[in-house]
A and B are shown apart, each in its own frame.
Chain A
Amino acid sequence: MKPISMTLFASALLAVALPVQAAGDPKAGQLKTSMCAGCHGIPGWRTAYPSVYSVPKLGGQHADYIVAALKAYKTGERDHPSMKGIAGSLSEQDMEDLAAYYASSYSGPAK
């Protein structure tokens, strides 16, 4: 094969092999933040149990990382009582939307 067709073939393979990202929608995510904002949206808010530390900032965090964290809470791989309960109630689409919202610069409809 010529180098160009090799490259094309390789890119086509790659495109097929890469998992389709169920890209989240920041606008849909913004509408689903009611359970998050009570802790993650309050300056200086700290966890109450089982140990006390500041609730992490989510603004500007990578969407993929947020989705991975939510899934880990849901399966119990990552352990936190409140997050287990909340992540457990989210669908995969909810997680993608929320992650897209926090990762993005979108901050809600203009008022």
Chain B
Amino acid sequence: MIRPLFLLAACLLVSPVHAKGNAEAGKAKSAACAACHGQVGVSEVSNFPTLAGQHRDYLYHALRDYKSGKRKNPIMAGQVASLSDADMADLAKYYSQLPGLTLKY
């Protein structure tokens, strides 16, 4: 009984760390994003969404959907092709921490 519990606890401890991403690492990977989404995630072109301040898990989910092809956009499909799961988590974390979008009722 002890071993399964230990494994479960270990999984719970390990997985969130990976899923939440690393903002510093994300910043280092964000150069390609900046061309359209702005230097600090505030896009200057109205067709491209502002990313700064967006929810981390929403950004991660969007990147994963572009990667799987569920969400279709020719530009984004090309951009995410080379991103690993960790890259997407890092980028999502980085942009979610920048000041920008707000919750608006």
Are both chains from one complex? yes
Whether the Cβ atoms of A102 and B104 lie closer than 8 Å is yes
| Contact count band on B | 20 to 34
Name 21 A/B residue pairs within 8 A (Cβ), A-sorted: A33-B105, A37-B105, A51-B61, A53-B60, A54-B55, A55-B55, A56-B54, A56-B55, A57-B53, A57-B54, A57-B55, A60-B50, A60-B101, A61-B49, A61-B101, A62-B50, A63-B46, A77-B72, A79-B70, A79-B71, A107-B104
Q: Could you tell me the distance in whole angstroms from the C-beta of B73 to the nearest C-beta in chain A?
A: 9
Residues of chain A within 8 A (CB-CB) of B50 are 60-62, 65
Whether the Cβ atoms of A64 and B104 lie closer than 8 Å is no
Whether the Cβ atoms of A65 and B48 lie closer than 8 Å is yes
| Contact count band on A | 20 to 34
Q: Could you tell me the distance in whole angstroms from the C-beta of B36 to the nearest C-beta in chain A?
A: 11
- Cβ contacts B53-72/A at 8 Å (1 or 0 each): 11111101100000000111
Residues of chain B within 8 A (CB-CB) of A43 are 103
Query: B-side interface residues toward A, CB under 8 Å?
Result: 43, 46-50, 53-58, 60-61, 70-72, 100-105
New A-B pairs, 11, CB < 8 Å, besides A56-B55, A65-B43, A65-B47: A33-B105, A41-B104, A53-B57, A54-B58, A60-B100, A60-B101, A62-B47, A65-B49, A78-B71, A102-B104, A107-B104
Q: Which applies to chain A's interface (DSSP): helix, strand, loop or mixed? A: loop
Whether the Cβ atoms of A54 and B53 lie closer than 8 Å is no
Q: Could you tell me the distance in whole angstroms from the C-beta of B53 to the nearest C-beta in chain A?
A: 7
